[in-house]
């Protein structure tokens, strides 16, 4: 995440469609006043015109002098809504109807009182990986909506989106890795699933007419440690394997046991704790280019 304010563009002022309607109203008022010789009509027309002439200055003022800085967002799992925190600093008096927006995020309209405040932008995630979200745009049409002031900040958030964990993960077929081999304990039989290893099929039961069943085992590693390896899972699509591994490391962390993670080209030795959990989840999120290729 960029920690500075980034390159800041000047406030740009653009007319809105409402300005055309306002100009038409002034023209009609002037024509009616001229047709009937109504001095009060002239007075109202010139008064409204004066207000319209001051509107762009007030609109530009809503954004002038504002500074902002994105803060590190909390990681989320794919499919969840992230909160993108933004520190908005207003060194002057109160500003009204300031709209804060970023690509893909839900825009938020705030009143910027004097001082510093935190603005949260909701961002709905869909894919895993490290997302770069930016730039950030401030805009306002206050007070009359005749003009729109826009100010763009070339800054961004770095958001980690972890793979969506599977509700349940299959038991890895292999033993522990990196010298952590343990014993496999028989747990029982379950219905056959596509991709199950032929070595685990209960052939005797099939011969007796019991149907196609698969034997299940649980890993009992030495030293209360285990390593979840990519190659130990049943053949499946990349995202499905990542979802299984995500579930396995989350469950292992919750149980308080040391665990490691082996992916093609990367190995995280067994540890435990929040930092290790996030390191494993980041490795899963960034696997194969983060799911954005």
- Over residues 190-217, the pLDDT tens digits come to 787 776 677 778 777 777 777 888 877 6
Q: Is the pLDDT of residue 253 over 80?
A: yes
| CATH code of the domain in which 20 resides | 2.60.40.10
- Average pLDDT on 23-41 reads 91
Structure token pair of residue 154: 């070339």
If asked whether residues 87 and 229 sit together in one domain, one would say no
More confident call, 220 vs 172? 172
Structure token pair of residue 166: 């599977």
User: Has residue 180 been placed in a domain?
Assistant: no
Q: Is the pLDDT of residue 33 over 60?
A: yes
Q: What is the domain range of residue 20?
A: 1-162
More confident call, 189 vs 256? 256
Residue with tokens 């499946």: 236
**pLDDT-above-70 percentage for the chain:** 87
If asked whether residues 25 and 151 sit together in one domain, one would say yes
Q: Is the pLDDT of residue 260 over 90?
A: yes
Q: What's the domain count of the chain?
A: 2
* Domain final residue pick, 144, 162, 180: 162
User: Has residue 43 been placed in a domain?
Assistant: yes
Structure token pair of residue 225: 């440690």
Tally of CB atoms within 10 A around 216: 16
Q: Is the Cα dihedral 230, 236, 242, 247 positive or negative?
A: negative
- Average pLDDT on 241-265 reads 92
If asked whether residues 141 and 8 sit together in one domain, one would say yes
Q: What is the greatest pairwise CA distance in the chain? A: 107
If asked whether residues 33 and 153 sit together in one domain, one would say yes
- Average pLDDT on 229-235 reads 88
State the helix-helix crossing angle for 39-61 and 17-36, rounded to 10 degrees: 160
* Domain final residue pick, 162, 181, 201: 162
* Domain final residue pick, 162, 190, 206: 162
Which residue pairs from 269-274 have beta carbons closer than 8 angstroms and sit at least 24 positions apart in sequence? 269/178, 269/227, 270/178, 270/180, 270/225, 270/226, 270/227
- Average pLDDT on 147-158 reads 94
If asked whether residues 9 and 136 sit together in one domain, one would say yes
- Average pLDDT on 93-122 reads 92
More confident call, 30 vs 169? 30
Q: Where are the beta strands (DSSP E) in 51-101?
A: 67-70, 76-77, 81-90, 95-101
CA dihedral 280, 282, 288, 293 (to 10 degrees): 160
What is the tens place of the pLDDT at every residue in 52-61?
999 999 999 9
- Average pLDDT on 83-99 reads 92
Between CA 168 and CA 276 the distance in angstroms is 21
Between CA 245 and CA 166 the distance in angstroms is 8
Between CA 82 and CA 161 the distance in angstroms is 9
User: Has residue 32 been placed in a domain?
Assistant: yes
Which pTM value belongs to this model?
A: 0.73
If asked whether residues 99 and 235 sit together in one domain, one would say no
If asked whether residues 227 and 126 sit together in one domain, one would say no
User: Has residue 182 been placed in a domain?
Assistant: no
């Amino acid at each position: 995440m960029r920690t500075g304010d980034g390159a800041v563009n000047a406030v740009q002022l653009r007319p809105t469609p409402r300005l055309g309607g306002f100009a038409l109203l002034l023209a009609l008022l002037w024509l009616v006043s001229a047709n009937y010789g109504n001095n009060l009509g002239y007075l109202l027309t010139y008064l409204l015109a004066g207000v319209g002439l001051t509107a762009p200055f007030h609109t530009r003022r809503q954004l002038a002098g504002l500074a902002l800085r994105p803060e590190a967002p909390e990681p989320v799992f794919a499919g969840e809504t992230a909160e993108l925190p933004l520190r908005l600093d207003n060194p002057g008096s109160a500003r009204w109807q300031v709209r804060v927006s970023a690509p893909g995020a839900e825009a938020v309209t705030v009143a910027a009182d004097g001082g510093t405040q935190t603005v949260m932008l909701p961002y709905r995630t869909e894919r895993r990986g490290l997302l770069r979200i930016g730039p950030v745009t401030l805009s306002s049409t206050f007070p009359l909506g005749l003009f729109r002031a826009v100010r763009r900040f070339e800054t961004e958030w770095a958001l980690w989106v972890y793979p969506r964990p599977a509700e349940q993960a299959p038991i890895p077929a292999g033993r522990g890795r990196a010298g952590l081999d343990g014993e496999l304990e028989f747990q029982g039989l379950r219905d056959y699933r596509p991709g199950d290893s032929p070595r685990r099929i209960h052939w005797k039961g099939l011969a007796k007419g019991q149907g196609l069943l698969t034997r299940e085992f649980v890993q009992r590693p030495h030293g209360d440690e285990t390593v979840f390896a990519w190659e130990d899972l049943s053949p499946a699509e990349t995202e499905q394997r990542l979802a299984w591994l995500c579930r396995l490391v989350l469950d292992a962390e919750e149980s308080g046991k040391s665990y490691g993670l082996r992916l093609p080209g990367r190995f995280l030795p067994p540890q435990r704790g929040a930092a290790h959990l996030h390191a494993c989840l980041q490795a899963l999120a960034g696997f194969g280019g983060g799911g954005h290729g």
